[in-house]
């Protein structure tokens, strides 16, 4: 499938970026999923959504199995949700009896998978959509200082600037396990053209371990970020593709 998967070392976070796999190449990947994942995959109506889900979860199984030295089909995930007690598995994924932390994301035609040893991790990838979303969502998603910075950008730059903000915030909230249960506007991150950093989290003085926030190259038309809680770490990026 995806060859030459490196091991995640101490003090490292690895991020894999991949294009969604389309038919007819998908059957070997479907065989990697467990029954729950296949049911989720089959429930998507659009083929593009099925391709994104399949690629993200098959890639996650591949990279985790490479770390643990086992079969991707035998990887068992846990799911933790801090906000409800629904009986079915859902929420932030994890592993049993392993120090590896993991996260996955998909948008447009691309997926991202992150594995970390230093601490909890969150990854987010977003397609830049120049369709007015920045103007519509900025008042809800961005803090006042972030809106001011976005206004300083030219009209042609605001879509990518907003997407940069959004990916950074999502990465932070995934790493902490809060997700969108926390209003994104409460979280302030650095300006789009500045190095990634969490600047403020209003209404929460010490919400978590220190956040190490990094931008990740996701290719043309995309923005991505990864956040790791805890000690400083080195981020290693991989571009992967399905071998034929």
Query: Which pLDDT tens digit goes with each residue over 136-168?
Result: 889 999 999 999 999 999 988 999 999 999 999
Q: What is the pLDDT of residue 243?
A: 46
* Lowest mean pLDDT, pick from 12-21, 124-133, 183-192, 212-221: 124-133
CA gap 197, 209 in Å, rounded = 14
Q: What is the pLDDT of residue 132?
A: 78
Q: What is the pLDDT of residue 30?
A: 87
β-strands 92-95, 101-107 pairing: unpaired
Structural domains of the chain in order of their starting residue, each with its CATH number? 12-240 (3.90.470.20)
Q: Which pLDDT tens digit goes with each residue over 28-73?
A: 888 899 999 999 999 999 988 999 999 999 999 999 999 999 899 9
What integer best gives the mean pLDDT of the chain? 88
* Lowest mean pLDDT, pick from 22-26, 115-119, 186-190, 191-195: 22-26
Q: Which residue has the higher pLDDT, 3 or 7?
A: 7
- CB-neighbour burial class of residue 164 (10 A; exposed 0-12, middle 13-18, buried 19+): buried
Q: What is the pLDDT of residue 1?
A: 52
Q: What is the pLDDT of residue 126?
A: 96
- What is the pTM assigned to this prediction? 0.91
Q: What is the percent of the chain where pLDDT is above 90?
A: 64
Nearest CA to 169 out of 133, 206, 196 is that of 196
The average pLDDT across 15-37 equals 83
Q: Which pLDDT tens digit goes with each residue over 198-216?
A: 999 987 765 567 899 999 9
The average pLDDT across 107-136 equals 91
Q: Which pLDDT tens digit goes with each residue over 90-112?
A: 567 889 888 899 999 999 999 99
Q: Is the Cβ–Cβ distance between 209 and 97 less than 8 Å?
A: no
> How large is the C-alpha radius of gyration of the chain?
18
């Amino acid at each position: 499938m995806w060859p030459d998967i490196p091991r995640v070392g101490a003090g490292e976070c690895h991020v894999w970026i991949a294009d969604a796999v389309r038919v007819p190449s998908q059957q070997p990947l479907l065989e990697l999923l467990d029954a729950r994942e296949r049911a989720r995959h089959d429930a998507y109506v659009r083929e593009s959504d099925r391709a994104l889900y399949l690629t993200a979860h098959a890639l996650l199984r591949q990279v985790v199995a490479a770390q643990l030295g086992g079969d991707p089909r035998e990887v068992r995930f846990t799911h933790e949700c801090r906000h409800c007690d629904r009986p079915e598995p859902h929420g932030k994924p994890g592993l049993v009896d392993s120090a590896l932390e993991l996260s996955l994301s998909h948008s447009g035609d691309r997926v991202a998978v992150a594995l970390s040893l230093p601490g909890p991790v969150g990854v987010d990838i977003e397609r830049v959509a120049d369709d007015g979303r920045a103007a519509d969502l900025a008042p809800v998603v961005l803090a006042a200082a972030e809106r001011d910075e976005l206004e300083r950008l030219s009209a042609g730059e605001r879509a990518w600037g907003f997407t940069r903000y959004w990916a950074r915030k999502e990465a932070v909230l995934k790493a902490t396990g809060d997700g969108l249960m926390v209003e994104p506007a409460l979280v302030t991150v650095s300006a789009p053209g500045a190095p990634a950093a969490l600047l403020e989290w209003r209404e929460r003085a010490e919400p978590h371990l220190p956040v190490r926030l990094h931008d990740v190259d996701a290719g043309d038309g995309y923005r991505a970020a990864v956040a790791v809680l805890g000690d400083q770490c080195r981020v290693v990026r991989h571009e992967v593709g399905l071998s034929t």
